C-alpha cells in the first residue's frame, strides 16, 4: 500500500471522479491513498466471505452487503472515504432512493483482509478508524496466519484461530462461519 | 522484522553459543530468525518503559525486569527462544541464582514495541505466542500510531490511546504509566 500525494484530490466528490482502472483509492483526512490490486489469496478469501454474508443478509432481509471498493464517507472537512473488503449496512440505515455517490456514513460491519506485507500500524489503525466513525463490528481476517481479529470496540478485541467461528452477534444476527471455511484447502 | 536463514533445526544451547553482537536472533520451533537492530524511536520507547518498570519493581521487591534481547525459552524439542523488547518476571519465579543461559520459561509480562515495517501477521503471531506459552500480560506498543494493545488472553484485548494509562494488573500490582510519557517529544 502506498501514499500518493495529489493535492487536487481532497474531497469525497473529487475521489468519486478519479478513474484509474486497476487501483483502489481511499481518502484519509483529505489525503489520497492509492492501493494496489490484492493478491489472489486475499481476493479469494474476500469473495467467500462476501458470498456468505450477502446470502445471509438477503435471506433474512437484514440490509445490504457491499463488495470491495465500495466507498463509505466517514468524515467531512477534511474528508475521509474508506473502502473495506466487505461491508454490511443494516436495513433501517439504507437510503430509500438511489444516489450515485459513496455511502454517507460508516457501514455497520467492515471486513478487512490482510495481505502478507500489510503493516501492523496501518491495519490496526484502519480497524480503529472504522470503530471511531461508528462501525459496530470490524473483522480483520489474516489468511496467512488463518486468524481473525474481531473488534467490537477498543475495549473489546478478540483473536480467533482457525477452529473458532466468526459470529455476526447483534450486528448480523444469526450469521456464523467457522474461520477455516474461508481458507482454501484447509477445511 | 525477521528473516529466516537457511539452517535446519537448532537448539537453545546452540543459539546461545552463536550469539553475534548487534544481531539479535530468535529461535522459533527450531528455526532461526534474525531481527534487524531497531530504529532509535523504537529504542527510546523501550528505554523509557524499562526505566519505569525496573525501579518500580525493584523498590517493591516484585521481581526482575529484563532488557531487549533477553532470551526466554518458550518450548523444547523443537526449541523456541524469543526475546521481547522489555520483560518482567515475578519474584517467586526467579531462580535463586542467575545463570548465563536463557530464562527457562516465559516472562510474566512481555512488551513488544512495533517498528513501521512490522506486518500485522507477525505482530499478532508474536503476541499470541507469548500468551500461548504462559505469559500473562502482553503490551504491544505502536509509537507511530501512538497507541498500545493490551493482551490478557485471546478473548481479552484492549486498545489504549495516548491519553490512557498502561496498568500492571496482577502482574505488576499498582504500576501505571501514561502512554504519552513513553513517546519522546517530536516523535
pLDDT tens, residue by residue, B136-160: 999 999 998 899 999 999 899 999 9
Answer for the pair B142, B116: CB distance below 8 angstroms, yes or no: no
Smallest Cα distance from A118 to chain B, Å: 5
CA distance B161 to chain A (A): 9
**Exposure letters A90-100 (e unless 16+ CB within 10 A, then b):** beeeeeeeeee
Confidence of residue B35 (pLDDT cuts 50, 70, 90): confident
pLDDT of B80 > 70? The answer is yes
Distance between CA A112 and CA A105 in Å, rounded? Answer: 17
CA distance B153 to chain A (A): 8
Report the C-alpha gap between A68 and A36 in whole angstroms.
13
- A134: contact with B, CB 8 A cutoff: no
Considering only CB atoms, B159 lies closest to which of A118, A144, A157, namely A157
Is domain B37-182 annotated with CATH 3.90.1570.10?
Answer: yes
Q: pTM of the prediction?
A: 0.82
Q: Which long-range contacts (CB under 8 A, 24 or more apart) does A32-39 make?
A: A32/A3, A32/A4, A32/A5, A32/A6, A33/A1, A33/A2, A33/A3, A33/A4, A34/A2, A34/A3, A34/A4, A35/A1, A35/A2, A36/A1, A36/A2, A38/A68, A38/A85, A38/A113, A38/A115, A39/A115, A39/A116
Residues of B in contact with A179 (CB under 8 A): none
The number of distinct structural domains making up chain A is 1
Residue A32 lies in a domain: no
Count Cβ–Cβ pairs < 8 Å, chain A vs chain B: 74
A140 touches chain B (CB under 8 A): yes
**Nearest CB partner across the interface for A158, out of B119, B121, B155:** B155
CA nearest A141 in B: which residue?
Answer: B121
How far is residue A62's CA from residue A76's CA, in Å, rounded to a whole number?
28
Select the residue from B28, B112, B115, B121 to test the A interface by mutation, using most A Cβ atoms within 10 A: B121
Q: What is residue A5's predicted lDDT score, i.e. its pLDDT?
A: 52
Determine whether the interchain pair B155/A144 forms a contact, defined as Cβ–Cβ distance below 8 Å: no
Helix/strand/coil for B87 = strand
Considering the domain boundaries, does residue A44 fall inside one?
yes
Contact between B103 and A124 under an 8 Å Cβ cutoff? The reply is no
| Residue A89: domain span | 39-70+82-182
Q: Does A3 touch chain B (CB under 8 A)?
A: no
Residue A149 pairs with which residues in a beta bridge? A140, A159
B109-113 and B137-142: which strand pairing? parallel
Measured between alpha carbons, how far is A88 from A72 in angstroms, rounded to an integer?
11
In whole angstroms, give the CA distance from residue B85 to residue B94: 19
Residue B14 pLDDT level (bands cut at 50, 70, 90)? confident
CA distance B26 to B19: 10
Give dist(CA A147, CA A158) in Å, integer: 11
Give the whole-angstrom CA distance, residue B12 versus residue B179: 34
Confidence of residue B13 (pLDDT cuts 50, 70, 90): confident
Closest residue, chain B, to A143 (C-alpha): B121
| pLDDT over threshold 80, residue B9 | no
CA distance linking residue B110 with residue B89, whole number of Å: 9
Inter-chain CB proximity A124 and B149 less than 8 Å: yes
Mean residue pLDDT across chain A: 89
CATH assignment at residue A178: 3.90.1570.10
Instruction: Please report, for chain B, the start and end positions of each structural domain, with discontinuous segments joined by +.
Output: 37-182
Between strands A109-113 and A137-142, the pairing is parallel
Judge whether A125 is closer than 8 Å to chain B, CB to CB. Answer: yes
- Asked if omega into B157 is within 30° of 0 (cis), the reply is no
Q: CB B145 to CB A121 under 8 A?
A: yes
Whether A158 sits inside 8 A of B118 (CB atoms) is no
| pLDDT tens digits, one per residue of A138-152 | 999 999 999 999 999
Does B176 contact A at CB distance below 8 Å?
no
Sign of CA dihedral B69, B108, A154, A38: positive
C-alpha cell at A35: 492501493
The answer to whether residue B116 neighbours chain A at the CB level (below 8 Å) is yes
**Would you place residue A83 in the very low, low, confident or very high pLDDT band (cuts 50, 70, 90)?**
very high
Which one of B117, B124, B147 has the shortest CB-CB distance to A149? Answer: B124
Look over chain B and give the mean of its residue pLDDT values, rounded to a whole number: 89
At B157 the pLDDT is: 94
pLDDT higher than 90, residue B3: no
* Per-residue confidence band for A7, with pLDDT thresholds at 50, 70 and 90: low
Closest approach of B63 to chain A, Cα-based (Å): 28
Report whether pLDDT(B117) > 50.
Answer: yes
Amino acid at each position: 500500500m502506498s501514499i500518493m500525494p495529489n493535492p487536487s484530490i481532497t474531497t469525497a466528490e473529487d475521489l468519486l471522479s478519479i478513474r484509474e482502472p486497476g487501483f483502489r483509492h481511499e481518502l484519509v483526512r483529505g489525503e489520497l491513498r492509492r492501493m494496489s490490486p490484492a493478491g489472489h489469496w486475499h481476493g479469494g478469501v474476500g469473495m467467500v466471505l462476501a458470498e456468505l454474508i450477502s446470502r445471509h443478509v438477503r435471506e433474512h432481509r437484514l440490509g445490504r452487503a457491499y463488495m470491495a471498493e465500495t466507498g463509505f464517507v466517514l468524515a467531512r472537512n477534511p474528508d475521509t472515504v474508506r473502502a473495506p473488503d466487505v461491508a454490511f449496512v443494516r436495513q433501517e440505515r439504507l437510503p430509500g432512493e438511489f444516489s450515485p455517490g459513496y455511502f454517507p456514513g460508516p457501514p455497520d460491519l467492515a471486513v478487512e483482509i490482510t495481505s502478507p506485507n500489510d503493516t501492523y500500524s496501518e491495519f490496526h489503525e484502519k480497524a480503529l478508524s472504522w470503530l471511531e466513525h461508528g462501525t459496530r463490528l470490524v473483522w480483520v481476517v489474516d489468511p496467512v496466519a488463518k486468524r481473525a481479529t474481531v473488534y467490537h470496540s477498543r475495549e473489546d478485541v478478540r483473536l480467533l484461530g482457525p477452529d473458532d467461528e466468526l459470529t455476526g452477534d447483534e450486528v448480523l444476527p444469526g450469521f456464523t462461519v467457522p474461520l477455516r471455511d474461508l481458507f482454501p484447502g484447509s477445511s | 522484522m525477521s528473516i529466516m536463514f537457511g539452517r535446519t533445526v537448532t537448539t537453545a544451547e546452540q543459539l546461545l553459543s552463536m550469539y553475534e553482537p548487534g544481531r539479535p536472533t530468535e529461535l522459533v520451533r527450531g528455526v532461526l530468525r534474525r531481527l534487524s537492530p531497531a530504529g532509535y524511536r523504537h529504542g527510546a520507547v523501550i528505554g523509557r518503559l524499562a526505566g519505569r518498570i525496573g525501579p518500580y519493581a525493584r523498590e517493591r521487591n516484585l521481581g526482575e525486569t529484563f532488557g531487549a534481547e533477553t532470551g526466554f525459552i518458550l518450548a523444547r524439542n523443537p526449541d523456541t527462544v524469543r526475546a521481547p523488547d522489555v520483560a518482567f518476571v515475578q519474584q517467586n519465579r526467579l531462580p535463586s541464582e542467575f545463570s548465563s543461559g536463557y530464562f527457562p520459561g516465559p516472562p510474566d509480562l512481555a512488551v513488544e514495541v512495533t517498528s513501521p515495517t512490522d506486518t500485522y501477521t507477525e505482530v499478532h503471531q508474536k503476541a499470541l505466542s507469548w500468551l500461548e506459552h504462559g505469559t500473562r500480560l502482553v503490551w504491544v506498543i505502536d509509537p507511530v500510531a501512538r497507541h498500545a494493545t493490551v493482551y490478557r488472553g485471546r478473548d481479552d484485548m484492549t486498545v489504549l490511546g495516548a491519553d490512557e494509562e498502561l496498568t500492571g494488573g496482577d502482574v505488576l500490582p499498582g504500576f501505571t504509566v501514561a502512554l504519552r510519557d513513553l513517546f519522546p517529544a517530536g516523535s
